[in-house]
Chain A
């Protein structure tokens, strides 16, 4: 680790980078690659879209071969979950299986991409990356009742196929682009998504400000650039060529950035709020004034009263959570020894990470106008070697279950190297060339032969021995549904799903003991309209200090740090949740009620709804045998069994 001299200099050096440091693959410009060309008939027959050529080249080099195409029923279930996070209905499956047109699958993909369900599913991935939540975290975990506007902005952006460069610019600098545009103001709330520490007695503004700036800078590094900039907060990065000065120069772009709640409450609401707040504020002002000369005893009483008042402050007025630049309140940015705000080192301005610039590139002063627009423009230039690669890698990963770089937030030395570097570059070039649009990328990937493979290979054992992680894609990866998908699918299958789009987040009824986990339990107010409780999980509240147990056991992220890939763990509490939890049991009752007819018909209907296919002979026999029982709870328990089955929880 390089030693930093903290007494001097006053200005941090602009820095230089060795040839070895610059050689790292991810910092190289994307190569202008063409898909490999094959002469043989087998290859020509298999390849459907350009990505297949890259995949096939990898397979052949590893002496592997692609699996045959999955059957229609498997394919529609896979692609529907992939794009919507919901199962296809039995009717949709039957129609697709029967559709003999040569472009039936293309039509299916287009239909799915055109549905608003697509935005709901893919927004979830982005919200994981940017650690979206609807409360501050820390002690008070204060609610952010208007945070849903950002969630809806992300869903709408995916649904309208907003170009990714625009999407990033709006989030980083929406307020600078047009301070009168509500959508852009909401988008700029991106800069405020991180956890926020507020303390009643903590007067330490400098400390809090450092944390705020840290949150703003870190997410740009991990989420947009795939660089673990956060590691350089305390010292030069141990593995990557990121100097501590690079880190603070990135923070420099946010030196003028302040929170800005743009009130949109009605005049009436504002008046009511003012009427409640004014006396409280007056009293607080008086109390604080009298504190100066108060005795020890009186001071105690004053502080107690101040805390009482704090508890009486009403929920904030309806607002858009935005940011604004306030040059007067600009924070001078210094390198901080061990990241501690009390140990200030050299001052810095703003500049992108030096490894991506020529040696000695100048920094800009902190007072530069529209600083975040500058950052956003640099990030989204076509030549930026990271931005496009990082995003196409995420897209690829969410389609195949395995990204090309398996550490999507870390393209540095500690991250993994790409399995298909040429493919990654080609995808990046293609992404930029067609205007940073997602849907054409989805289409190209989903229509590929690689994507359409079955999840079992005829040479399963031999290939698994050679390539146990399926790095070369010799078959499709089976995946377990994610927490949201499991709940949404149970809702859909039981006929209870409320398909309403957007709007304020829903709080469902939960065990009162769970609410005690909150320092301020009064924040948990069960949504009165019960039909709201059956909405898609993305519309449930994501509260930092109270992750719902159902979500927690199925690997939902904690929303405190960026989550690039969710785990897919298997453990007993999942079984207990699905067997005994209220979510699955309530919906099993609804599911069972939906099933009608003779036992054989009910069994077939249940399987088609829950798993997208008819049961095989053995499954049918087991199901009928179980239902051959006078116990009135047998039907509900059968429905619950299906929710617990692999055929329901996994997608092939």
Chain B
């Protein structure tokens, strides 16, 4: 029996079988009763899990595989030429038959014991090469941002379906009693194209919606007591609410009991969550590693460090977003890929590597999945001279920790990075593999909605066994 929540009311009253849980998930009986009061109480996975939690470093806008993890020497040889017909056709937004191949200015080298090839755009991630499981053969169905982002996050190309974070929280609950189960830290520059619906719970109950930790002085909405109200006054107010609610409560009223425990949790969040944002107790060395305090890396560094701190406290799913607010401030390099990607790398590379290193030295990487990538890659042909267009038919993402093999590259694109040709991996295959590591079975993690048992994987994803330890 995990000691995750201490309730004020006595347990006896709530061991009645008054709420039916999601039967298929087979919780331990006591956990089932807990759930009646707290739908976010931890739930047993479907089978023993390799990982407990997940961090998604969402690189919005679509980072180029050709400038990062997928070296293509032929690209430079064909620079300025039309794409040879032998590579086949793909559909683009702006690139057309007059477009020319764009060589890359990045150079690749082998890193770590594994000799994984990474470009000089990402020197810090190169240092963690042996922890990275790079998938070079990702593909999705959509070539426009919003729809591709929905698919990457929820498995569906239209909005309204639950995000990975909501699904995982629905499946596993949370062990934290003073922090949200699912946290999103958006880019302070603005939203990615898919907007708010990309992170949300869709048709799953509202308890599975993310907590947004935004930039600015009030990172979490409604965590601060209104101006002019003392903490002491507020404590009395919450006590009054409890007493009033208990005054009218029949025994075994599970819903009202849940309301009382929601106020307990709220009060804990209010008093304890601000500590999460206080980085003053982090050693200087750690802050420096994440680049906190340095102008370029301060924002993303803080957010990556927060991700680690949240995971440590038992938060189930954290999404840290790099990119938003328009093409210039995300990986959406339609023009001048060098300038765009150099900026994005300068902001994110060091904190990204720091997060993986930090998790590893704390022994947390084994039980935490770190996923890096965006909704698509970028085209081999140029757009607007030196930019690259959206590109969904073959691109790279990487996974670290959580029982994924390090120091490997899986799958391949063709010789110009146009199409995934060896072991193509669809988003749904990635989703199936990720939740598998969290102990969740893709068909059992389902929710009946309007005639369908909806799943994250929509139809059926293939678990990528070759990637797993």
Residues of A whose CB lies within 8 Å of any CB of B are 137-139, 141, 195, 197, 199, 201-204, 211, 222, 228, 230-231, 237-240, 296-297, 299-301, 303-304, 407, 409-410, 412, 414-415, 456, 460, 464, 468, 511-514, 516-519, 521, 544-547, 549, 552-555, 558, 560-564, 567, 569-577, 579-582, 585, 616, 618-619, 622-623, 626, 629, 631, 633-634, 637-638, 640-642, 644-647
Q: Are B256 and A646 in contact (CB under 8 A)?
A: yes
Give a binary string over B189-231; 1 marks a CB under 8 Å from any A CB, 0 the rest.
0110111110010110111010110111010011111101110
Q: Are B147 and A631 in contact (CB under 8 A)?
A: no
Q: Closest B residue to A414 by CB, please name it.
A: B451
Q: Closest A residue to B265 by CB, please name it.
A: A572
Q: For A228, what are the chain B residues with a Cβ–Cβ distance below 8 Å?
A: 450-452
- Contact for A549 among B158, B194, B221, CB less than 8 A: B221
Categorize the interface residue count of chain B.
35 or more
B51-59, B124-132, B244-252, B343-351: which lies at the A interface? Answer: B244-252
Q: Are A575 and B202 in contact (CB under 8 A)?
A: no
Whether A570 contacts B382 in the complex (CB less than 8 A), given A545-B197, A633-B233, comes out as no
- Contact for B94 among A303, A460, A512, CB less than 8 A: A303
Q: Are A296 and B384 in contact (CB under 8 A)?
A: yes
* Chain A nearest CB, measured from B155 CB (Å): 14
Whether A519 contacts B191 in the complex (CB less than 8 A), given A139-B146, A513-B216, comes out as yes
- Contact for A464 among B18, B234, B384, CB less than 8 A: B18
Q: For A572, what are the chain B residues with a Cβ–Cβ distance below 8 Å?
A: 180, 262-263, 265-266, 269
Q: Are A547 and B207 in contact (CB under 8 A)?
A: no
Q: What's the Cα separation between A553 and B211 when bound, in Å? A: 10
B383 within 8 A of A: yes
Q: Closest A residue to B102 by CB, please name it.
A: A296
Q: For A138, what are the chain B residues with a Cβ–Cβ distance below 8 Å?
A: 146-147, 159, 193-195
Q: Are A303 and B384 in contact (CB under 8 A)?
A: yes
- Contact for B325 among A297, A516, A569, CB less than 8 A: A516
Q: For B229, what are the chain A residues with a Cβ–Cβ distance below 8 Å?
A: 633, 637
Q: What's the Cα separation between A638 and B237 when bound, in Å? A: 7
Q: Are A415 and B451 in contact (CB under 8 A)?
A: yes
B461 within 8 A of A: no
Q: For A561, what are the chain B residues with a Cβ–Cβ distance below 8 Å?
A: 160, 202-203, 449-450
Q: What's the Cα separation between A579 and B335 when bound, in Å? A: 48
Q: For B147, what are the chain A residues with a Cβ–Cβ distance below 8 Å?
A: 138, 197
Q: Is the interface of B mostly helix, strand, loop or mixed?
A: loop
B107 within 8 A of A: no
Q: Are A567 and B206 in contact (CB under 8 A)?
A: yes
Q: Are B206 and A562 in contact (CB under 8 A)?
A: no
B39 within 8 A of A: yes
B270 within 8 A of A: yes
Whether A569 contacts B206 in the complex (CB less than 8 A), given A412-B451, A516-B325, A631-B233, comes out as yes
Residues of B whose CB lies within 8 Å of any CB of A are 17-18, 39-40, 91, 93-94, 99-100, 143-147, 158-160, 180, 186, 188, 190-191, 193-197, 200, 202-203, 205-207, 209, 211-212, 214-216, 218, 221-226, 228-230, 233-234, 236-238, 240-241, 243-245, 247-250, 255-256, 258-259, 262-263, 265-266, 269-270, 324-326, 334-335, 382-385, 387, 448-453
* Chain A nearest CB, measured from B181 CB (Å): 10
Among A301, A577, A585, the most chain B Cβ lie within 10 Å of the Cβ of A585
Q: Are B244 and A645 in contact (CB under 8 A)?
A: yes
Q: Are A296 and B100 in contact (CB under 8 A)?
A: yes
Q: Are A569 and B205 in contact (CB under 8 A)?
A: yes
Apart from A571-B262, A576-B270, what are 5 other A-B pairs with CB-CB below 8 Å?
A204-B91, A211-B158, A299-B385, A415-B451, A570-B262
- Contact for B39 among A299, A464, A571, CB less than 8 A: A571
- Contact for B223 among A517, A546, A576, CB less than 8 A: A576
Q: Closest B residue to A415 by CB, please name it.
A: B451
Q: Are B159 and A560 in contact (CB under 8 A)?
A: yes
Q: What's the Cα separation between A372 and B82 when bound, in Å? A: 48
Q: What's the Cα separation between A300 and B325 when bound, in Å? A: 20
Q: Are B194 and A139 in contact (CB under 8 A)?
A: yes
* Chain A nearest CB, measured from B17 CB (Å): 8
Q: Are A580 and B223 in contact (CB under 8 A)?
A: yes
* Chain A nearest CB, measured from B184 CB (Å): 10
* Chain B nearest CB, measured from A609 CB (Å): 15
* Chain B nearest CB, measured from A515 CB (Å): 9
Chosen A-B contacts, 17 in total, with CB atoms closer than 8 Å, are: A139-B145, A197-B147, A296-B385, A301-B384, A414-B451, A513-B216, A570-B255, A570-B259, A579-B238, A579-B270, A619-B248, A622-B240, A626-B240, A633-B230, A641-B244, A646-B248, A646-B259
Q: For A581, what are the chain B residues with a Cβ–Cβ distance below 8 Å?
A: 221-222
* Chain A nearest CB, measured from B194 CB (Å): 7
Q: What's the Cα separation between A645 and B245 when bound, in Å? A: 6
Q: Are B334 and A567 in contact (CB under 8 A)?
A: no
Q: What's the Cα separation between A409 and B450 when bound, in Å? A: 6
Q: Are A569 and B221 in contact (CB under 8 A)?
A: no
Q: Are B259 and A410 in contact (CB under 8 A)?
A: no
Whether A519 contacts B385 in the complex (CB less than 8 A), given A300-B335, A631-B233, comes out as no
Q: Are A139 and B144 in contact (CB under 8 A)?
A: yes
- Contact for B193 among A240, A468, A519, CB less than 8 A: A519
Q: What's the Cα separation between A616 and B334 when bound, in Å? A: 68
Q: Are A304 and B209 in contact (CB under 8 A)?
A: no
Q: For A618, what are the chain B residues with a Cβ–Cβ distance below 8 Å?
A: 247
Q: Are A558 and B221 in contact (CB under 8 A)?
A: no
Q: Closest B residue to A137 by CB, please name it.
A: B159
Q: Are A410 and B186 in contact (CB under 8 A)?
A: no
